[in-house]
Amino acid sequence: MAGKPKLYYFNGRGRMESTRWLLAAAGVEFEEKFLEMAEDLEKLRNDGDLLFQQVPMVEIDGMKLVQTRAILNYIANKYNLNGKDIKERALIDMYSEGVSDLNEMIMLFPLCPPDAKEAKMANIKERTRNRYFPAFEKVLKSHGQDYLVGNRLSRADIHLVELIYSVEEIDPSLLASFPLLKALKARISNLPTVKKFLQPGSQRKPPFDEKQLEKARKIFRF
């Protein structure tokens, strides 16, 4: 019997959080190996575990997978969260990439200079309100189904709900004008596997803070 997937990253959200969400939604238990210092990352590199010398890395089914998109695609395919045919997979990829665009902005926000934070946050809110949320609301309205693609749960739904939670941490009012997104959030959040992941004490990571940022700086030396 294969062991649990093992996730190698620091103890924070970053580029691993979407993988945690996807595995949790699929009902897959996983272990985490946290990088605590730069030497931990260097050891993985020296041992030849990191093909491109960087994390995140997920050890699964005898493979050591790196590159976030490759990791997410493998998990989605393995657990039937990537559509039933090539057309559905194309839509799921497109929606997931849109989520990733905004999520990247939010994820990198703590790294911007203090004097640029106000403008950066205003840009995140503007794009959320006028570009990304309207696009996903339009998709849901266009077919009137419960999920983004094929009326069945896919990784695109899970990624979008993860993003919605991140946006609400910034400003809960940003979701107010999007009833179909609110309904999707409630629907996904009430799935037993996701509901468990959202409970205190789960492997879901808290919002990025200065303490996490300082630890990340030490590990990744930026």
What's the pLDDT tens digit per position in 98-152? 999 999 999 999 888 999 999 999 999 999 999 999 999 999 999 999 999 999 9
Beta strands in the chain (DSSP E): 6-9, 31-34, 57-60, 63-66
What is the overall mean pLDDT for the chain?
A: 95
Q: What is the mean pLDDT of residues 13-33?
A: 97
Q: What is the mean pLDDT of residues 79-108?
A: 97
Residue ranges matching CATH 1.20.1050.10 in the chain = 86-189
Was domain 86-189 assigned CATH 1.20.1050.10? yes
Q: What is the pLDDT of residue 2?
A: 65
Q: What is the pLDDT of residue 1?
A: 45
Structure tokens at 77: 């395919």
Distances (CA, A) of 142 to 16, 94, 145: 32, 16, 9
pLDDT cut 70: percent of the chain above it: 99
> Does position 11 have pLDDT exceeding 50, yes or no?
yes
Question: What is the pTM (predicted TM-score) of this model?
Answer: 0.96
Residues 169-214: tens digit of each pLDDT:
999 999 999 999 999 999 999 999 999 999 999 999 999 888 888 8
Residue appearing with tokens 């693609």: 149
Give the separation between CA 29 and CA 147, rounded to whole angstroms. 24
Q: Kindly state which CATH superfamily the domain 6-79+197-220 is placed in.
A: Glutaredoxin (3.40.30.10)
Q: How confident is the model at residue 5 (pLDDT cuts 50, 70, 90)?
A: very high
Q: What is the pLDDT of residue 27?
A: 97
Q: What is the mean pLDDT of residues 18-41?
A: 97
Q: What is the pLDDT of residue 100?
A: 97
Q: Which residues contact 19 (CB under 8 A, 6 or more apart)?
A: 7, 56, 58, 68, 71, 72, 75
Q: What is the pLDDT of residue 215?
A: 85
Contact in structure between 80 and 141 (CB atoms under 8 Å):
no
Q: What is the pLDDT of residue 118?
A: 95
> Does position 93 have pLDDT exceeding 70, yes or no?
yes
